[in-house]
Every structure is written in structure tokens, then in C-alpha cells.
Amino acid sequence: MLGWSINLFRIRGIQLAVHFSFILFLAWFAYDGYQDAGVSGALWGAATLLAFFTCVVLHELGHCFTGMRFGLHVRRILLMPIGGMAVFDSIPRKPREELLMTIAGPAVNFAIAGLLCLVAGYPHAGNVLDSPNSLTSFARLLAGWNLLMGIFNLTPAFPMDGGRILRALLATRLPYLRATKWAANIGKVVAGLGIAYGLFTSSYLLAVLFTFILLSGENEYRMLQRQEYAEAHWQAMMEHLARTRAGGPADEPPLLEPGNTEGEPRP
């Protein structure tokens, strides 16, 4: 499903792509605006969505540029109806680096919101749901959405930004895999509550978003678990080979317990 995407252009070597469903989402927004106010409504609807996702791209670029300063390579940024996703070759294992890289995304949203508030005024509670009818209301709408985006991304549901911040803080006291497991388990609880709330309030897109978050968090933990498992196995194999070459006892190569979730080799 994630392969059904269209490449747009590159920003500092980072490929920007859109999922095909995003095109349908944009068309739906334009059609909904057309139903309300004709051609001008369609243009406002499309412009509002594109402006919002421009802020999503800036959010992801905040993560990417900070990660690039730590030597990480960014494959692409993928836009979907439920938001954006930056794809890295790897995630920094140092808690400080992950913390800074993660905070950079919401920080961009808060900076955009602050700038727009200085220009157009602070959005009222209802502005974030109102259709814009002027450039000023449009700016206030974006300010409100950026505030919500920044705050929402700090929700401690791994692998959202808040969940990664939690993982980075836990990793200062716990092994990385165990910190990830704790963050993922807490994220499951938060995501479950988000799904229930979305279904209860008929906010089905929110329920889909939290379902995606729940599955992504578990998948990332399992992937990291397999990686740690393999690294521990090969480290033990190299130690076994070094002992054998040094004339040590010709014991059997190390095996791994099938149920070992921490990736520790079995002697």
C-alpha cells in the first residue's frame, strides 16, 4: 500500500512523494467546497488542504534536517491523508540525538503558528473548523491547525513524536530495546483510547489514524527486536570464531532461544 505513491520533487536531496489516496482526498476537499460555494469554494477547499499539508511537509523537514546534522540519510517524505511520514535509513540510538530530532518537528509547527498569530491574530476556538473567507481568516485557520498539529504530535503514542520523546527519555535509564518496548506498550494504550474516542464521536479518520499508529508502533518494535536479535547472534558467532582460531575449545556455535525477546544469545 505504501508503494502506491507518486514522486514530486526533491528538497535538499529528500524525495517528496504523495500517496495516491492523497490525490483522492484533495479531490474530495475540492468537491466538498464546490458543493458549498461553487468554483470559489472548490479553490478555497483545495488551497486550504494544500496549505495544511505544506505545514506537514515543513514539520517533517524539521525532523529530516535535524537528523541530517547527525549524519542520518533520509530516503523520502511520504504524504498521506492521515499525515506525513519521513523515512530514514536508521534512527539515532543516542537519546539526546533522538530527542532533538523528534522535538524539531512540533517546534516547526509552533514557530509557524506564532508567526501567523503575529500577522493575523490569534485564532478563536472555532476558527480551526471554520471555512476561511478571507486571507486573514485563512492565516488564522493555519495558525490554529499548526497549534493542533504540534500538540497532537506530542501525544505519547509511539511512533508519534510524543512516543519517541518518551522512548528517548526511557533510553537514558533502560536498554534501547526495553525502552522501545515500554514506549510501544504505552502507545498501544493511548492509541486504543484514540480509536475508541474516534468511533464514539464518529470521527472515523481519527480512528483510522490511531489504528495506523498502533500497528506502526508494534511493527517498529518487532523490527528493532529482530535487528537486536540478529546483532546479538552475529556478535556471539564472531566471539566463537575468535576463540576457535585462538586455539580455544571447539564448542558448538551459539544458538538463540526461540522465545528470547531480548535478543540475548544462548551459550
Residue range 255-267: mean pLDDT, rounded: 46
Length of the chain: 267
Least confident of 74-83, 92-101, 176-185, 229-238: 229-238
177-216 pLDDT, tens digit per residue, is 899 999 999 999 999 999 999 999 988 888 998 998 999 9
Residue range 222-241: mean pLDDT, rounded: 74
4-52 pLDDT, tens digit per residue, is 888 989 999 999 999 888 888 888 888 888 888 788 778 888 888 899 9
Closest CA to 75 of 83, 64, 84: 64
Catalytic residue positions, numbered: 60
CB atoms within 10 A of CB 29: 20
H-assigned helices in the chain: 20-69, 95-120, 135-153, 161-170, 176-200, 204-245
Contact by Cβ (8 Å): 55, 38: no
Residue 232's pLDDT is: 67
Least confident of 86-95, 179-188, 201-210, 257-266: 257-266
CA distances from 201 to 125, 192, 206, 258 (A): 19, 14, 10, 43
